[in-house]
Structure 1
Amino acid sequence: MLKNQKGFTVLEILIAFVVAVVAIVGIYTSVLYAEAQLKRNHHHRAAILLASGECDKQIYYLKSYGVLQQFAEKTVTIEKYDDGSYLNGKMYLTSHTETDYSFGSGVEYLIIEIKVEWTEGEDEILDIVVREDFYH
């Protein structure tokens, strides 16, 4: 009968449509993942900068006044959003003295650790720790 018909069957169109939908969903998922990872990396960088600044401040207090400005826990703002809300975290300070015997005699030094902890998304708790060794 009609052997030389040209065109697409319904099955071929359906398969092409499914492939296109899967590709679009894959691209959309990748974009959402990349955006979430970008936010997470930004929050890590902000927390590291907060902790590093606090370390510098503590060393300044130690050099200037001979003591650390101790605190058990302090609330810090990691990011302020356009809608006026904040991503807040908690900052913790720990310090202790150790002795370094690398060169035969003991040299005391102070270890300052600043930890910043925050909740990413609904329930994922993330943290970073910055450590500074201060030889005095």
Structure 2
Amino acid sequence: TVHNMVKNHRLARAISDAAWRQLRSMLEYKAAWHGRDLIVVDRWFPSTRLCSTCGALAQKMPLNVREWTCPCGDVHDRDVNAARNILAAGLAVTACGGGVRPQRGTSRTGHSSAKQETPRATKGIPVP
């Protein structure tokens, strides 16, 4: 089984990569089949360490830390916080385009990488 093959430290990375690649291929196929977009978040996106409330980025966090408190006072479950950040990043790409990485405090150009929506972007969407 794959579980036993991953125990071999020389092959674990290749086996794990193959399994994730297969899952991604299936997701891409299913999304295309149903006319949906698949948004892939950067592998190094710090979803776990990024506060989903205020956007502060925590320092390195070992895997055994399951809960952490942000300087803003919010207490985060590691997995729930990551899920919120990944959802927000995907929605941001859907709405504005651009990459799925946190913005630096200053950029070389001084402009955000996100495209601004035009007033017509929501034309035709019924208002509830």
TM-score tier, shorter chain, comes to under 0.3
Length-normalised TM-score, structure 2 = 0.24
Length-normalised TM-score, structure 1 = 0.23
Larger strand percent:
1
User: Computing the radius of gyration over CA atoms, which structure comes out larger, 1 or 2?
Assistant: 1
